[in-house]
A and B are shown apart, each in its own frame.
Chain A
Amino acid sequence: MAFEEIKAGLEKYHAEVEAKLVKNPERANLVPNRLYTPVDLGENFDYMTKLGFPGEYPYTRGVQPTMYRGRFWTMRMYAGFSTAEESNKRYRYLLANGGSGLSCAFDLPTQIGYDSTDPMAEGEVGKVGVAIDSLADMEILFDQISLDKVSTSMTINAPASVLLAMYIAVAEKQGVSADKLRGTIQNDILKEYAARGTYIFPPKPSMRLITNIFEYCSKNVPLWNTISISGYHIREAGSTASQEIAFTIADGIAYVEAAIKAGLDVDAFAGRLSFFWNAHNNVLEEVAKFRASRRVWSKVMKERFGAKKAKSMMLRVHTQTAGSMLTAQQPNNNIVRVALQTAAAVMGGTQSLHTNSKDEALALPTTESVTIALRTQQIVAYESGLADTVDPLGGSYYVEALTDKIEAEAWEYIKKIDEIGGAPEAIAKGYIQKEIQDSAYKWQMEIEKGDRIIVGVNKFTQEEEAPKNLLRVDGSVGKLQAEKIAALKARRDNAAVEAALKALEAGCADENVNLMPLILDAVRAYATEGEICGVMRKVFGEYQPHTTL
């Protein structure tokens, strides 16, 4: 069948359709074309350059040769609230019910380097995650969980070094050496400045801490994913799909540049870089986004940074379904949204997945709603057939065209950010924040004008009772943590703590020192997170945000 023949047929088809549009009108505000055909891919569509094979450059079809035919993605439920004791119970429940990895949510004081007793922590202790003040809490958090058997992801950024050190120290106590530890720290400070907000230190010492971790782990914790370069929160803040991958890959470029500048060989650390995507509502656009992101990153690593190892070029990704798309109205509908988002992440080829629970627009999830979210993944894995062949949408005219479009838009943004001077500079100037905000505002206005329908919110609304059985975090967690800290300070060797903190302070002042061993010493001596971050705050100062509207 000749290309020209398809083109002619397509013209005829459109002409006939348009002639009848008055009688058979189409819906308003449709973004994609009416129909996709080989014409959209172009006459010279080159399968090998654009797609290739799974597990091969440019990884469009996936990073592993057999994808889920060997093993499903890791079903990793993000959890954590209240105390270490409470969260430990939830982790063991998830593992007992088929969860295949852990994912720790820390409360905001922990994420920002404050002890639970800090005045800044008032009202926040144990609210959005578990409160961790010292190694003692971390020991309880992983009680009866063998760290050589489980992989653990920790959503921790500015103080990532401290929480990783605590994890290593807990493993030591369990008799598990660091080279056996598998997991991920988020450790992505640039998106904190741009979209998520749990920053502590200014960019320069923050980038130093990150490269210190890359270097330390490449030698001591070789199976650890040292960073999870995150588009998730950029998307949650309101970006489009293309912006999500473009801004994140631009951040990735900045980290690789910083590590190379610090003297590391690209292939020594790049294989441990991982990514974090959002699975949003538009299923096919999301699938295309995942595919496009792998193509862009592999090209960046190969062509821009001269990576040689295949692993260095693979974009491995954890995914979370879009929290911002959950509705407080008719919350049961969220189960359906999450199922579709799960389908998108799986057809997009994610390596691990967190599914949100139906009640998360209202509060942290209950055990019952978390179970439905986990079961959603299991149904998609075992019943839907979506995981039975590699990249099932590869070759779809629409998905291929969309993959090309998102890739082109991402390159356009990356070029723009390069011209500004890289992601850190683009964030300092507020460029990235502004782009995200504009998209967020546009989205909201579309909803308010009725151009975008959210079921149960601006259409098909109904009167409903206030939902019952929401999870509530007891206000006494702050007091409980304060008692724990007081008891800890009474029983630990305070001279050893002081010595370790002094050594850390001296290390902070000398740019050539890798801080990881010093942080590990302080953690082992049971210095609190606030004490450790306090020393770093003293030497490094604090980040002053660029607020744009």
Chain B
Amino acid sequence: MANVKVLVAKPGLDGHDRGAKVVARALRDAGFEVIYTGIRLTPEQIAEAALQDDVNVVALSLLSGAHNTLFPKVVELLKEKGLNDVLVIGGGVIPDADIPGLKAAGIAEVFTPGTPTSKIVDFINANVK
């Protein structure tokens, strides 16, 4: 699919962005158009950026444990802005037990430590609308 636009974003106060940057770069190398927001964004700022940049995918990264609060909030705000077709995925230090809840809240897939970046690329290609 041509011109898939991905917003890689870090909600919350967590500054660990090695993973986010590596994923962003791998997505770019895979041919996607990638925007990286930088760290410490509120869910509002992320949803606004997704709207402004007209992205197809929002990839959230969080290692601080605040994912159960902040990931669903991003999805909610995207919907409020009418961005119902945006594919939202997440990654970070996320216990398996939290994944069903996140999926129910609209996170299409959660990628935990050790995931090859190629798997994220494949998932986006298969699921982007």
Report chain A residues within 8 Å CB of B28.
Answer: 549
Our pick among A111, A127, A192 for the contact of B65 (Cβ within 8 Å) is A127
When each residue 263-299 of chain A gets 1 if its CB lies under 8 Å from chain B and 0 otherwise, what string results?
0000000000000000000000000000000000000
Report chain A residues within 8 Å CB of B93.
Answer: 361-363
B101 within 8 A of A: no
Report chain A residues within 8 Å CB of B18.
Answer: 236-238, 324, 440
CB within 8 Å of A: which of B78-97? 93, 95-97
Q: Is the CB of B21 within 8 A of A127?
A: no
Our pick among B38, B70, B96, B118 for the contact of A123 (Cβ within 8 Å) is B70
Known: A108-B12, A361-B93, A545-B39. A127 touches B64 (CB 8 A): yes
CB-nearest residue of chain A relative to B21?
A: A437
Q: Is the CB of B112 within 8 A of A328?
A: yes
- Min CB distance A195 to B, Å, is 8
**Most chain B Cβ neighbours within 10 Å, of A122, A447, A472:** A122
CB within 8 Å of B: which of A422-480? 437, 440-441, 444, 447-448, 454, 457-458, 466-467, 470, 472-473, 475
A313 to B22, CA, bound (A): 37
Q: Is the CB of A197 within 8 A of B12?
A: no
Known: A362-B93, A466-B97, A547-B38. A123 touches B15 (CB 8 A): no
Report chain B residues within 8 Å CB of A184.
Answer: none
Q: Is the CB of B25 within 8 A of A441?
A: yes
**Most chain B Cβ neighbours within 10 Å, of A111, A112, A437, A475:** A437
B16 within 8 A of A: yes
Report chain B residues within 8 Å CB of A372.
Answer: none
Q: Is the CB of A547 within 8 A of B12?
A: no
A415 within 8 A of B: no
Q: Is the CB of B65 within 8 A of A473?
A: yes
Q: Is the CB of A549 within 8 A of B36?
A: yes
Q: Is the CB of B68 within 8 A of A123?
A: yes
CB-nearest residue of chain B relative to A109?
A: B13
Known: A108-B64, A466-B97, A549-B24. A448 touches B12 (CB 8 A): no
Q: Is the CB of A328 within 8 A of B113?
A: yes
A124 within 8 A of B: yes
Our pick among A197, A236, A364, A475 for the contact of B40 (Cβ within 8 Å) is A197
Known: A328-B112, A457-B114. A123 touches B66 (CB 8 A): yes
A120 within 8 A of B: yes
Report chain B residues within 8 Å CB of A127.
Answer: 64-66
Q: Is the CB of A448 within 8 A of B118?
A: yes
- Min CB distance A461 to B, Å, is 9
CB-nearest residue of chain A relative to B28?
A: A549
Report chain B residues within 8 Å CB of A121.
Answer: 13
A196 within 8 A of B: yes
A312 within 8 A of B: no
Report chain B residues within 8 Å CB of A111.
Answer: 13
Q: Is the CB of A197 within 8 A of B26?
A: no
Q: Is the CB of B12 within 8 A of A124?
A: yes
Known: A457-B114, A470-B95. A444 touches B22 (CB 8 A): yes
A114 to B66, CA, bound (A): 16
B69 within 8 A of A: yes
A528 within 8 A of B: no
Report chain A residues within 8 Å CB of B34.
Answer: 549
Report chain B residues within 8 Å CB of A120.
Answer: 13, 42
Q: Is the CB of A444 within 8 A of B26?
A: yes
Known: A197-B15, A327-B113. A128 touches B21 (CB 8 A): no
A323 to B1, CA, bound (A): 37
When each residue 537-548 of chain A gets 1 if its CB lies under 8 Å from chain B and 0 otherwise, what string results?
000000001010
A134 within 8 A of B: no
CB-nearest residue of chain A relative to B65?
A: A127
When each residue 172-208 of chain A gets 1 if its CB lies under 8 Å from chain B and 0 otherwise, what string results?
0000000000000000000010001110000000000
- Min CB distance A234 to B, Å, is 11
8 pairs of A and B residues whose beta carbons are closest in the complex: A197-B15, A123-B69, A123-B66, A547-B38, A108-B13, A127-B65, A466-B96, A328-B113
In the complex, besides A111-B13, A123-B12, A467-B96, 7 extra interface pairs with C-beta distance below 8 angstroms are: A112-B13, A123-B70, A197-B14, A236-B16, A437-B22, A444-B26, A447-B116
Pick 22 A–B contacts, CB within 8 A, sort by A.
A112-B13, A112-B40, A114-B13, A124-B13, A124-B65, A124-B66, A128-B64, A197-B39, A198-B15, A327-B114, A329-B114, A437-B25, A440-B22, A447-B116, A467-B96, A472-B95, A475-B68, A475-B69, A547-B37, A547-B38, A549-B21, A549-B34
B interface residues (Cβ-Cβ under 8 A, vs A): 12-18, 21-22, 24-26, 28, 34, 36-40, 42, 64-66, 68-70, 93, 95-97, 112-114, 116-118
